[in-house]
Amino acid sequence: MAQQIRVWDGPLRIFHWLLVVSVVTALLTGWQGGSWMDWHARAGLFIVGLLSFRLAWLLLGSTYARLSTLLGALLSLPQYLRGDWRRLGHNPLGVLSVFAMLGMLSWQAVSGLFTNDDIAFTGPLYKLVSSSLSSDLTRLHKLGMWIIIGLIALHILAIVVHAVLKKHNLVKAMLTGKTEQHYPEQKPAQGGRWLAFVCALAIALGAVYMASGEWQSKPPPAPAVAPAW
């Protein structure tokens, strides 16, 4: 029986499952519209924080969460296609999926800050752009929803293919953080400790604050109208 080896750190796993919940919430509430748009906006801000954390974790996280490891895997695409892949973490196709998902979700989260529904809802940074630009971003934001649904479908398909054809339980690995060690040169993940987590969390909170628009100056209250006696 192959030995279990640590590959995904705790913060990365928490990020992954929180992102799943928040993206599903954003899709469902955005689809419903109307009074659900307030929850859609909350989910969007939460996604901004999660993505900011993940971007920081590309530099601060453990071995297989780092940008250097992902880029190294991507450069090994010819080796992977020949069937010589012997590394842990994301394979080259998985790295492409990660970059596509993070990139598309980042676009959706940022563009959503400037959108409007022509009725009552406006994004928290709507006032920073012209109404025409906001309308263009809103249209592209709605289109992006379908792209994200497509990426999610491909992601689920890849999980099923790995489970059926390669007998790799990717969901279990993302829950436990461990996978089977098949070769002695495969080393457990290192790094991604508490100080790194605190720094990444601070970056995420700062991003949420900026995206929320709370820093914008508030208009003065309307003057009280004296009653006509």
What are the φ and ψ backbone dihedral angles of 177, each rounded to 5 degrees? 85, 0
- Is residue 224's pLDDT more than 80? no
What pLDDT does 229 receive? 65
Say how far apart CA 80 and CA 117 lie, in whole Å. Answer: 46
In this predicted structure, the answer to whether residue 93 has a pLDDT above a threshold of 70 is yes
The string of pLDDT tens digits covering residues 1-41 is 568 999 999 999 999 999 999 999 999 999 999 999 999 99
Prediction pTM value: 0.93
Q: What's the DSSP call for residue 116?
A: B
**pLDDT > 80? residue 228:** no
Structural domains of the chain, ranges and CATH numbers in brackets: 3-212 (1.20.950.20)
Closest CA to 69 of 50, 87, 93, 51: 87
Chain segment 59-86, per-residue pLDDT in tens: 999 999 999 999 999 999 999 999 888 8
Q: What is the pLDDT of residues 137-146, one digit of tens each?
A: 999 999 999 9
